[in-house]
Amino acid sequence: MAIKPTSNDAFYKEVDEELRRDQFADAWSRYRWLIIGGVVLLLAAIAGGIWWMQHREAQRQAQGEQLSTALDSMEKGQFQTVGPQLDALEKSGADGYRAAALFSRANALVAANNLPGAAAILGQIAADEGLAEPYRHAALIRQTALQFETLPPDQIIQRLQPLARAGEPWHGSAGEMIGYAHLRANRPDQAATVFAAIGADNTVPEVIRSRAVQLAGAHGAEAVPQMQAAPKGQAPAAGAPAAGQPTAPQGAAQQAAPAAPAAQPAPATKE
């Protein structure tokens, strides 16, 4: 009986597998220390990354505690004791905590009636391109409020004009100070236009809108905010303009400025 020839596929497969084993063994004998070193470096890099994240988190927690302690001391009037804590936060690499520390230092100087010193620190914040825009704009508003009585009206207007556009977060505060600056410069018509625009803007805080409505009416302009009219015979709502009511004093511009946001939580830091 004739024997069926054996297929060569199994033979070729066995030779191919043997060749692969020889190539792997040769590569391992040549490069095993490089492979082992690469694995060790990879594990070390992963461990280092985990440690660094934990270290940064611990730093942020410590900085948060420092800021909280400093704010508590300032609320108790213990301004002289917060200097070292604020110094440490100002020198930290966390932009949010650095800004909060600078605002806190400015607040301490305001409490000590050192308005020029506070304004200088706020100007430093406003000019720091490394800080987020909300911090810089808040500092500029606060700085201008502190300097309002000493700055020329046109300088106030030029400084705050970018922040006084409709839709900007500080539209109300910046616009109100611009309106007062026009009044100081004997431009009541322009002031009335500014106050009317603020009074008709529903995005502006109600306190600022109410003042703006009063001032616009007192200087010949009409603001039409979306307010419900009081029923006949009923006293107007709080903040509604009264006929013949005088304009707010120039110093009221400082009321429009925000308090320094030192107590605001700091944003995520740059790694």
Mean pLDDT over all residues of the chain? 74
- Gap between the Cα atoms of 238 and 98, Å rounded: 39
Name the range with the highest mean pLDDT among 46-50, 120-124, 229-233, 242-246.
Answer: 120-124
Instruction: Please state, in angstroms and as integers, the Cα–Cα distance from residue 54 to each residue in 60, 88, 245, following that order.
Output: 10, 20, 60
Name the range with the highest mean pLDDT among 1-15, 22-36, 82-96, 205-219.
Answer: 205-219
Q: Give 192-239 pLDDT, tens digit per residue.
A: 999 999 999 988 999 999 999 999 888 877 766 444 443 444 433 333
pLDDT at 170: 92
Domain map (residue ranges) of the chain: 80-146, 148-226+240-258
pLDDT at 83: 67
Cβ-in-10-Å burial (0-12, 13-18, 19+) of 15 comes to exposed
pTM of the model: 0.60
Buried b (16+ CB within 10 A) or exposed e, 177-212: bbbbbbbbeebbebbbbbbbbbbbbeebeeebbbbb
pLDDT band for position 66 (cuts 50, 70, 90) = low
pLDDT band for position 65 (cuts 50, 70, 90) = low
pLDDT at 177: 95
Phi/psi at 25 (nearest 5 deg)?
-65, -40
Average pLDDT over every residue of 17-30: 74
Q: Would you state the torsion angle of the CA atoms of residues 153, 156, 161, 162, taken in this order, to the nearest 10 degrees?
A: 170
Average pLDDT over every residue of 104-111: 86
